[in-house]
Copies of this chain bind each other. A is one copy, B any other.
Amino acid sequence: MTVNLPLPQKNDLKPVKGFEMGIAQAGIKKANRKDLLVMTLAPGSQVAGVFTLNRFCAAPVQVCREHLAQDGRNGEIRALVVNTGNANAGTGETGMKHALETCAALAKDLNLNPEQVLPFSTGVILEPLPIEKIVSALPAAVANLGEDHWFDAAEAIMTTDTQPKAASVVVQTSAGPVTITGICKGAGMIHPNMATMLGFIASDVGFAPGLLTSLTREVADQSFNAITIDGDTSTNDSFIIMATGQSSVQIASVTDPNYGVVKDALLGLARKLAQMIVRDGEGATKFMTIEVIGGKTQEECRLVAKAVSHSPLVKTAFFASDPNLGRILAAIGYAGIDDLDVNRVQMWLGDVWVAKDGGRNPSYQEADGQRVMKESEITVKIDLGRGNATQTMWTCDLSHDYVSINADYRS
């Protein structure tokens, strides 16, 4: 079950000039299933990424970091390869060897250096990557390369996702239109059988060297780093923005008036994709927006939004459509703001002012809270009353199905 998540329409997913995708069936975990995706970038493209902070990060994440850090010494990044069915995490030296072999094999097929390839894996942890299956299927994926394969690409990276996730936008700038299209996958933050977050966005905009790296970090913080399903940080989380520079829009610096236009469009698309993951969250029946305002710093707002979003008691209350205000206030209280004056805290459920000055709003009627809780999309707004910083996060409820999905044996 998903929460207000319509299937993406193929025609809505705009091709990005200079960016191609090819899909193949490598039979990594199951036969007759798209499980291998190759993506290629035209010469002169730029690529930036944000990766999991998990110390048990997967081999491909380590290789991605190294290849991105080489900063063009062996040629710019020109290709990406994603396999599902196996995360290549917790696999030690052999795992590193397999990730590098994947890059080398694709580089050979595409006439590149191995360092120009970024590898991604998602699926079960602690199992060796079936490298020979991947290498064998790469030529088929390369032969399939094309600009209009976004929908198939979104399908090819699915694991426990119940449907493909993709979105597209064309934004007008003073220098002409920019096309941005992206795909992502994920349903639990980590799920060895299988679901870790991957996100790829491509655009035909051009950026001066260096600009894309900081922009990708900013976008990630306000999109994929602002969602939680179960709070588990995966071993494989990766988010990539690619800019082919094939449109008329070339951005030289952050002071370029089009920088803000493109950044907002990228952020909007990244948020939409990130929210798709929440809408398809394991067992999700509700989509919740936790909006924290009035903080001294954005970081303390994030702490509060995270505590509320992550509390199993808050999440089960939403599943039950129970306006259980005490649980939300308690989560605010333990979020980690040591000098929080609770008497300044206000809270709204949708349009209903439920907590006033740290206690129950005298005019609050439970029937009003109940009405809001029955909706499938609910916003909790919390005013900390101590500054002007804000942070919003998105999450889903905790249902019986979450337990069922995650208690199912892996095989």
Q: Are B333 and A235 in contact, CB atoms less than 8 angstroms apart?
A: yes
- The stretch from A18-26, A89-97, A114-122, A289-297 touching chain B is A89-97
Q: Are B322 and A407 in contact, CB atoms less than 8 angstroms apart?
A: yes
Q: Are A408 and B360 in contact, CB atoms less than 8 angstroms apart?
A: no
Q: Are A326 and B231 in contact, CB atoms less than 8 angstroms apart?
A: no
**Which residues does chain B contribute within 8 Å of A400, judged by CB atoms?**
400, 403-404
Q: Given A55-B332, A56-B342, A342-B55, A313 and B360 touching (CB < 8 A)? A: no
**Which residues does chain B contribute within 8 Å of A342, judged by CB atoms?**
55-56
**Which residues does chain B contribute within 8 Å of A408, judged by CB atoms?**
320
Q: Are A312 and B230 in contact, CB atoms less than 8 angstroms apart?
A: yes
Q: Are B407 and A319 in contact, CB atoms less than 8 angstroms apart?
A: yes
User: Is A324 interfacial (CB-CB < 8 Å)?
Assistant: yes
Give the residues from 383 to 410 in chain A that come closer than 8 angstroms, CB to CB, to chain B.
398-400, 402-404, 406-410
Q: Are B406 and A340 in contact, CB atoms less than 8 angstroms apart?
A: no
- Nearest B-chain residue to A54, judged by Cβ: B333
**Which residues does chain B contribute within 8 Å of A90, judged by CB atoms?**
325-326, 329, 355, 358-360
**Which residues does chain B contribute within 8 Å of A402, judged by CB atoms?**
312, 316, 403
Q: Are B230 and A313 in contact, CB atoms less than 8 angstroms apart?
A: yes
User: Is A267 interfacial (CB-CB < 8 Å)?
Assistant: no
User: Is A337 interfacial (CB-CB < 8 Å)?
Assistant: yes
Q: Are A126 and B313 in contact, CB atoms less than 8 angstroms apart?
A: no
Q: Are B403 and A322 in contact, CB atoms less than 8 angstroms apart?
A: no
Q: Mark A210-239, 1 if CB is under 8 A from B, else 0.
A: 000000000000000000001111110000
**Which residues does chain B contribute within 8 Å of A125, judged by CB atoms?**
325-327, 329-330
User: Is A190 interfacial (CB-CB < 8 Å)?
Assistant: yes
Q: Mark A54-89, 1 if CB is under 8 A from B, else 0.
A: 111100000000000000000000000000000101
Give the residues from 304 to 343 in chain A that come closer than 8 angstroms, CB to CB, to chain B.
311-313, 316-317, 319-320, 322, 324-327, 329-334, 337-338, 340, 342-343
> CA of A133 to CA of B264 in the docked complex: distance in angstroms?
58
User: Is A34 interfacial (CB-CB < 8 Å)?
Assistant: no
**Which residues does chain B contribute within 8 Å of A407, judged by CB atoms?**
316-317, 319-320, 322, 399
> CA of A406 to CA of B327 in the docked complex: distance in angstroms?
11
> CA of A343 to CA of B96 in the docked complex: distance in angstroms?
13
**Which residues does chain B contribute within 8 Å of A330, judged by CB atoms?**
54, 56, 89, 125, 190, 232-235
Q: Given A232-B334, A326-B90, A327-B192, A126 and B360 touching (CB < 8 A)? A: yes
Q: Given A55-B342, A232-B334, A403 and B316 touching (CB < 8 A)? A: yes
Q: Give the top 3 A-B pairs by smallest Cβ distance, nearest first.
A: A125-B326, A56-B333, A320-B407
Q: Known A-B contacts: A90-B355, A188-B313, A232-B331. Give 10 more (CB < 8 A).
A: A55-B332, A87-B326, A126-B355, A190-B313, A190-B327, A235-B330, A316-B402, A319-B403, A320-B407, A324-B410
